[in-house]
Amino acid sequence: MKRLHGFTLIEVVAVMFVITALAIVAVPVGRNVLTQYREREFMEALVEEWEMLKMRARAEPSDGNMYVNGEEREVRFVTQGTTKTFPFPVSLTFSGRGWMSCNPHGKIKQAGTLNFSNEKKFAWVITFQLGWGRAILTKN
């Protein structure tokens, strides 16, 4: 009698069950990692654009302003009538409005902080130091 090689139905069902369980666990974890990546990318772009705003203010020379609008979910960088807008990632919130300004020498007029938060109650904080207005990004 010829012997057949292959898998039984129970073995196939068991493998499908294991694959389904892994997919159920992996999708939320992957989504969370992607959300954190988008948040970090946005915050780093904000700090980088702030530095560019200060350089443009020195080069033009003119005042440079950064406006954060939590209701419209956007950050605007304005210098000499030129506006650059960054929309928030869906997961981030900012309550109220924020504003930072630098003079034509690239120095900031007033120190301050911007506090963004997400659904998991983590906070991204950008602190602007007096003087040259260095922006420091931290995650709490």
Instruction: Please list the pLDDT of the chain residue by residue as tens digits (140 residues).
Output: 677 777 888 989 999 999 998 888 888 888 888 998 999 999 999 999 999 998 988 888 899 999 999 889 999 999 888 899 999 998 998 877 788 988 888 888 788 888 999 888 788 888 888 877 788 888 88
| 83-to-46, 65, 80, 92 alpha-carbon distances in Å | 14, 9, 8, 22
Global confidence as pTM: 0.78
pLDDT of residue 18: 92
Are 23 and 15 within 8 A, CB to CB?
no
Instruction: Return the CATH superfamily for domain 7-137.
Output: minor pseudopilin epsh domain (3.55.40.10)
State the Cα–Cα distance between residues 66 and 71, nearest whole angstrom.
16
Q: Quick one: pLDDT at residue 65?
A: 92
Give the model's pLDDT for residue 133. 78
Q: Residues 104-123, buried b or exposed e (16+ Cβ, 10 A)?
A: eebebeeebebbbbbeeeee
Residue with tokens 């130091």: 129
What is the structure's pLDDT at 19? 92
Q: Distance of alpha carbon 124 from its chain centroid, rounded?
A: 8
The Cα-based distances of 98 to 23, 58, 76, 77, 101 in angstroms read: 41, 22, 10, 12, 10
* Domain segments of the chain as ranges: 7-137
pLDDT of 1: 61
Strand partners of residue 126: 114, 137
